């Protein structure tokens, strides 16, 4: 327990240390990489709520990531072209304010998760995986065939969106923002993990019969966490789009769902900082090996295989030791 705590704190501190160092050394690219790690980790923290605590193997989280991305793209593109988003029944203008964009990202990905979850959670096991995958693909094809926002080519946003009191064009400021959001999500995950809801949810993952006979419906617990999980991943999508100043259907692709899941598995399923460790390792490998060979995914695959075979707890399991779950 103690060791896990130290490992988490060390890992969390590493990211701002790297970013601040890079800022002093005038290495903006490194800051951008650290920002990318924070944002992808955020997407993973979202998935890990459903996967780690709820046992819900969703291969459709790209849907939420993409919805968050397009929430940013759509609002910002209207703001950039000075055209209203909607004139009837009420006038809705575009926006280039991050809080507004985040709110839309949270609400729309939450609603999507509610619908997708309500339907998918009637199944389980491999059917659940397939249905979530199918929903993700539906969004993918929809985004390709919808011409209003760039269709297949995606949508470029020329200005980074603003946040009150910060200059988001300064890489370190934008990093700070993404990192702060990640911290909030980690705090939320911790809070939930030790709460009565977390206890019931974790029990439902282990034995739905046990939870039912205790008078609690597993379906509703799981739907609740699925919506929260989708919202967090959706927020990550909005930040990711802002980082790249670009949104495209690839955010909706099943490869995106797969990558978010890879962060979680690499880092350690159900570990608080698993997604952070996984995303950091992923970006590190991409930078180191991607330069050597275009086929760096082969190495990634081999690493994933080793972890699944020999280290179920992922990187965090190796660093922090077994059994990190709250109040065990």
Query: What is the secondary structure of 73-127 as a DSSP string?
Result: HHHHHHHHHT--SB-SSS-B----BHHHHHHHHHHHHHHHHHHHHHHHTTS-THH
In the set 83, 123, 167, 206, which binds other proteins (CB under 8 A)?
206
In whole angstroms, the minimum distance from the beta carbon of 223 to other proteins comes to 11
- Strand, coil or helix: what is 246? strand
266 neighbors 251 (Cβ within 8 angstroms): no
157 touching other proteins, by CB under 8 A:
no
Let me know: does 47 contact 261? Beta carbons within 8 Å. yes
In the list 40, 192, 223, 251, the residue contacting other proteins (rule: CB under 8 A) is: 192
325 contributes a contact to other proteins by CB under 8 A: yes
Asked, as a colleague might, if the bond just before 159 is cis with ω within 30 of 0, I would say no
User: Which among 161-169, 178-186, 192-200, 314-322 is the span making contact with other proteins, rule CB under 8 A?
Assistant: 192-200
Binding-site string for other proteins from residue 79 to residue 108, where x marks contact by CB under 8 A and - marks none: ------------------------------
Cβ proximity to other proteins: between 57 and 216 the closer is 216
User: Which CB, 9 or 214, lies closer to other proteins?
Assistant: 214
Among 20, 103, 203, 318, binds other proteins (CB under 8 A): 203
Q: Tokens in use for 201?
A: 């949810």
Please, which residues have CB within 8 angstroms of residue 123's CB and are 6 or more apart in sequence?
131
Give the x/- contact pattern for other proteins in 215-254, rule: CB under 8 A. xxx--xx--x------------------------------
Closest distance to other proteins from the beta carbon of 256 (Å) = 28
Gap between the terminal Cα atoms of the chain: 9
What are 86's strand-pairing partners? Answer: 92
197 binds other proteins (CB under 8 A): yes
Look up tokens 């992808």; give the residue. 40
Residue 191 in contact with other proteins, rule: CB under 8 A: yes
Using CB under 8 A as the binding rule, whether residue 199 contacts other proteins is answered as yes
Does 210 sit near other proteins (CB under 8 A)?
Answer: yes
Q: How many CB atoms lie within 10 A of CB 185?
A: 25
Instruction: DSSP letter for 160, please.
Output: P
Binding site for other proteins (CB under 8 A): 191-192, 194-200, 202-203, 206-207, 209-217, 220-221, 224, 325, 327-328
């Amino acid at each position: 327990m103690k060791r896990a705590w130290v490992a988490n704190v060390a890992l969390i501190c590493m990211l701002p240390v790297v970013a601040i160092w890079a800022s002093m050394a005038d290495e903006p690219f490194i800051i951008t990489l650290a920002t990318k790690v924070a944002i992808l980790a955020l997407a993973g923290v979202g998935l890990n709520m459903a996967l780690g605590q709820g046992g819900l193997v969703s291969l459709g989280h790209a849907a939420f990531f993409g919805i968050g991305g397009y929430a940013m793209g759509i609002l910002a593109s209207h703001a950039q072209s000075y055209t209203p988003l909607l004139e009837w029944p009420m006038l809705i203008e575009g926006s280039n304010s991050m809080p507004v964009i985040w709110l839309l990202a949270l609400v729309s990905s939450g609603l999507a998760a509610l619908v997708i979850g309500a339907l998918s959670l009637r199944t389980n096991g491999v059917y659940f995986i397939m249905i979530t995958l199918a929903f993700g693909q539906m969004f993918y094809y929809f985004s390709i065939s919808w011409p209003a926002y760039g269709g297949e080519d995606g949508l470029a946003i020329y200005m980074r969106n603003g946040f009150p009191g910060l200059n988001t064009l300064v890489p370190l400021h934008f990093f700070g923002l993404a990192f702060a959001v990640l911290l909030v999500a980690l705090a939320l995950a911790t809070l939930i993990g030790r709460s009565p809801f977390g206890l019931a949810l974790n029990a439902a993952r282990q034995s739905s019969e046990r939870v039912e006979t205790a008078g609690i419906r597993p379906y509703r617990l799981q739907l609740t966490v699925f919506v929260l999980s989708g919202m967090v991943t959706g927020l990550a999508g909005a930040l990711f789009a802002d980082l790249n100043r670009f949104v495209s259907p690839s955010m909706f692709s099943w490869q995106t769902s797969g990558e978010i899941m890879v962060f979680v598995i690499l880092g350690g399923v159900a570990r608080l900082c698993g997604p952070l460790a996984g995303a950091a390792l992923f970006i590190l490998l991409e930078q180191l090996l991607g330069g050597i060979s275009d086929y760096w995914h082969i190495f990634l695959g081999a690493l994933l295989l080793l972890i699944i075979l020999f280290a179920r707890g992922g990187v965090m399991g190796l660093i922090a030791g077994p059994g990190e779950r709250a109040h065990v």
